[in-house]
Amino acid sequence: MNSSQHLSRLEHFLRLFAKVQPREGITSLILVMNLFLILMAYYFIKPVREGWLSVSLFQGFSQLEVKAYSAFGQSVLLVAVLPIYAKLATIWTRRELILRVGAAFGVMLVVFWFLQPEFIWEQVPYVGIAFYMFVGIFSVTLVAQFWAFAADIYGEKRGKRLFPLIAIGASAGGAMGAWVGERLISLEKLAAFDLILLSLVPLGCALALAAWSDRRGTYGDPSKWTKTRWQEPAAPDNEGAYHLIRKHRYLTGTAMMVLIFSWVVASGDNILFGLVQQSVRDNINGLGAAPEDISRMVNAATTAFYGDLYFWVNIAGLLLQAFFVSRILRYGGFMALMLATPLISLAAYISMAIAPVIGVIKAMKVAENSSNYSVNNTARHMLWLPATKEMLYQAKTAIDTLFVRIGDGFAALTVLVGTRFIALDLVSFLLINVLLIFVWIGIAIFLVYENRRLRQLTPEQVAAST
């Protein structure tokens, strides 16, 4: 008898997006909603981050430099925090790890809301930069933790089928968060900073769904293995994230690829941010606004611009994720999935170099970022399906947080050298990205072949491989 005859109505619907098997529908949908809510919370606070940073000035530094160096600060902070996280993963169960880390982020959001300008104090020095660093760590940590959890639940075979479906939650959550956030900002009774508090609602719901999916397991009837995982630490052994990354060439390659693509994307973001600030300030200066109003107007205009940008990025990402990712994987294989985004980025930066104006760069960033958030994210997380528990909860978290932010740091260094020492023009910055993309493509091809090799090994053999 064909297994499709046993599919529920929900599972028949989910088969539009991935090859869901009987009894997998409910847990899959819970995980989709879990990721949806995490990204919704992030996109509530992401435009606030840009607006707050736009009025956080350092004398003698441009807005582009402030953004780039703030991103680099995240890397420094993560170097200190990640060993603590890795240690906690060997003490707490996966459910405790998810709930306690999420709760800690929630408390920090409340603290930042109280520190907003002109609420209790007129302006707390550097708090906008601290919030920028916090939001970057918030996003990469919670998302990396979620995907480690999803890989833990599903394993390699089910994960390969279901990850394209689960990733729809990220694209849909980002699109919905950007859309809802943009409309909430437009309400007279709500200030932009109130989105920080409102983000606690989707964050709290996401944590509740994580606990539910942990209790259910894959099918809703927890197996002996699932019940054993309830009692075990998230990472049973503590080899340490950095040791694991050095030991396994697969993890080393993954870290390098994440660093390179983060460098490319962050450089593009920095270029766009600098152009936006220049355009916004030119427009406001043309209006003859009073000096005391300029800061508020820059904040509002920057927040509105990025709210619109993130909305279109996530709409495009949602369409790619829902209707193209699983089909790219099915008909083109894992190689096609891994190479799709760097090839799109290559075309985007060549186009920007030919026509380096804000409209073209905005359109190309929509194309690049939407592909990154859908096609590339799914491919990156599928790289971890053959991984051991220690790799998932220690090395993955380190790579998806620290190496992402190191890539941001290299983008900041590019700005520093290119603006302070060499005086590069905009086209030169874009061509640097083109060269980096060729490196990205080479590493991606290497990882596809390594992934194919690891899928043939047992977990014990994967742990022992180098």
User: Following DSSP, what letter does each residue of 7-76 receive, concatenated?
Assistant: --HHHHHHTTTS-PPTT-HHHHHHHHHHHHHHHHHHHHHHHHHHHHHHT---TT--HHHHHHHHHHHHHH
Q: Where are the domains of the chain?
A: 17-464
Flag whether pLDDT at 26 surpasses 90.
yes
Count other Cβ atoms within 10 Å, centred on residue 6: 11
Q: Domain 17-464 in CATH: superfamily? A: MFS general substrate transporter like domains (1.20.1250.20)
Q: Residue 415's pLDDT is what? A: 81
Highest mean pLDDT among 30-34, 215-219, 282-286, 307-311: 30-34
255-269, 283-297, 412-426 — most confident range: 255-269
Residues with Cβ within 8 Å of residue 150, at least 6 apart in sequence: 31, 159, 163, 166, 381
pLDDT of res. 42: 93
Rounded to an integer, what distance in angstroms lies between the CA atom of residue 269 and that of residue 146? Answer: 25
Residue 334 to residue 61: CA distance in whole angstroms: 43
Task: Tokens 């919670």: give the residue.
Answer: 142
Instruction: Give the model confidence (pLDDT) of 109-136 as tens digits.
Output: 999 999 887 777 767 667 888 888 888 8
